[in-house]
Amino acid sequence: MKFKKLAFIILSVLVLSYAGLKVVKKINLNSDYKIGQPIDNFNGVNVYYNGGVDHVSGRNVTKDNYNLGLKYQCVEFVKRYYYEHYNHKMPDAYGHAKDFFNPEIKDGEWNSKRGLVQFTNPSEKKPEVGDLVIFSGSLFNRFGHVAIISKVSENEIEIIQQNPGPFSSSRETIAFKFQNESYKVDNERLLGWLRKEK
C-alpha cells in the first residue's frame, strides 16, 4: 500500500512538472525582446524572436498561398529563407523540423518532399553556406530543429536559427572534421543537410 501511494506521488509530481514545463516553454521569459521582433538577418531575410520555444503566433502564408510555417518557429525561418532567397517552394510544405531529413535517402540523393539534395552526417560533401541543417528531436524538443549554414571555415560551420530559446543566440558555431573520406559535423543530433541544386 505504501509503495502504491509513493508511486502515485512520484507520478503526480512528474505530470505536474511536465505540465509546468509546457507552460514555461510557451511564455516569453526574456523581457529584452518582444515576440516578433527582428533579432538577426541573413541575406536580407530576418530572424524573429519567438519567446518560449513552444510559442506560436499563427501561420505564415505567402501571397501565393505557400505555407511557410508557424510564426516564429525554426521551420518558418528556413522555409521563408529558401522562398525569399532562392525562390524555392518545397513540394511538401508541412512537417516538423526533424521530418525535413529522410533517413531512407542516401548521401547526395534527391529528397523529393523538400525538392532539395540531401546529405547525411557524415557526408562525402562538405557543408556549404546556405545549406539547411536538420537536428533530431530531444528530450525537451521532440520535433527537432532546423537552421541555415551562414559561414563555413576550415573546421567549423556557423548556423543562423530562429527559436533556439528565449536566452539563446540566433548564431551558433559547430566544429566539423574531415576523416575517413567524409565530413562529420560534431553534433550527435545533426542528421544532415539539404541543398538547392545549382
- Dig out the grid coordinates for 77 from the structure: 525561418
Torsion sign across C-alpha atoms 198, 85, 46, 21: negative
Residues of the chain with pLDDT under 50: 7-9, 11-24
Determine phi and psi for 117, rounding to 5 degrees: -80, 135
Total structural domains in the chain?
A: 1
Domain at 61, CATH number: 3.90.1720.10
Amino acid at 12: S
Give the pLDDT score at 140: 83
Give the tens place of pLDDT for each residue, 50-86: 999 999 999 999 999 999 999 999 999 999 999 999 9
Give the pLDDT score at 152: 98
Give the pLDDT score at 40: 98
Percentages (nearest 5) of helix, strand, coil residues in the chain: 20, 30, 50
DSSP H or E segment with residue 67: strand 67-70
CA–CA distances in Å: residue 91 to residues 62, 82, 100, 156: 15, 13, 12, 31
Give the pLDDT score at 177: 97
> Model pTM?
0.87
Domain that holds residue 178: 2-195
Give the pLDDT score at 183: 98
DSSP H or E segment with residue 179: strand 171-179
Give the pLDDT score at 8: 45
Do the beta carbons of residue 37 and residue 49 sit within 8 Å?
yes
Give the pLDDT score at 29: 82
Give the pLDDT score at 17: 41
Half-sphere exposure of 15 (CA within 13 A, CB side): 6
